[in-house]
Amino acid sequence: MTTAATAEEQYSVFRDRRNEAAVMPQGNLALINTAWFYGAPGEWETVWMAGGQWAAAPQGTPGVVLKAEPSDGVAIDGELVSGERVAYAKSSDSPSSITFADGKTGTVIVNEEGIYALRIWDAASEDIQNFGGIDAFEYNPNWVVTGTFSPIEGGKAVEVSHLKDHGAAREKVIPGDISFTIDGVEVRPVAFVEGRALMIVFSDATSGDSTYSVGRFLLCAPNPDGTITLDFNRAFLPPCAFNYNFNCPIPPEENRFSFAVTAGEKNVLNREGELLH
């Protein structure tokens, strides 16, 4: 007969898994290049750290095209490329696995505008070698907050900026209104759909002080009774806290909390216990 893990024990497991995920072969610290293809199909480009030449695929093809010789050492799905071949995006029905001659790997992604990019990953990157861990607050049950969730029929569009979008905003849809109270003050953050959950992109009074300056993420999901549980102990750092190659969302105005959230992840540290970046 097993004993159910305590909240502190569950939090410890979560912390361990976050540290392990950061150094995976395609974890946040392994990304070394993201090359976007804005040109027309057939406009071949060389990509830093990738052999051969690359181009946008014809309209309707979910990926990018590689033109290479066997001497370039680029393989797609385990087969060395000779000639032209499509590398399919992660969002497609059959995502391609890309490997390069020096052991690095690649994946293809697509953004909201339908532009595709090649990402290159290095399982032995300098950041992985120098990674010391993710600094985080101790578990605090007071930061497990219960709020309310009210669905919005058809959802509601809000504009969200990203770090590298030069002020341009992307439209995101929120499926419902969230409300919770901190120290007698009502807070109404916006949360976007992220997979099977909702994600709150937030900053607070610790941002730029004891925690990452841009902000943090929190995943949550409505309960059947109309409540929603926000466990800020599970607040985690965005990919851009680990790696400048990521383009992270900036917290919308509703999610810029005036109070200090002294729970969750703080910063990415190197082996000397200092900020990695």
78-100 pLDDT, tens digit each? 999 999 999 999 999 999 999 99
Task: Give residue 182's domain range.
Answer: 7-22+133-270
pLDDT in tens, 123-182: 999 999 999 999 999 999 999 999 999 999 999 988 888 888 877 788 888 999 999 999
Residues 11 and 90 in one domain: no
State which of 100, 122, 144 marks the end of a domain: 122
**pLDDT at residue 42, rounded to an integer:** 92
Task: Identify which has the larger pLDDT, 155 or 265.
Answer: 265
Does some domain include residue 96?
yes
Residues 146 and 92 in one domain: no
Our count of domains for the chain comes to 2
Mean pLDDT, residues 29-41? 96
C-alpha to C-alpha distances, 224 to 149, 156, 228, 242, nearest whole angstrom = 10, 21, 9, 35
Residues 76 and 142 in one domain: no
Residues 98 and 149 in one domain: no
Residues 18 and 139 in one domain: yes
**SS3 of residue 7 by DSSP:** helix
**pLDDT at residue 7, rounded to an integer:** 95
**pLDDT at residue 1, rounded to an integer:** 57
Quick one: how far is CA 68 from the chain centroid? Answer: 31
Q: Which of 59-63, 75-79, 194-198, 227-231 has the lowest mean pLDDT?
A: 194-198
State which of 89, 122, 155 marks the end of a domain: 122
Which percentage of the chain shows pLDDT scores above 90?
88
Tokens matching residue 164: 């590298």
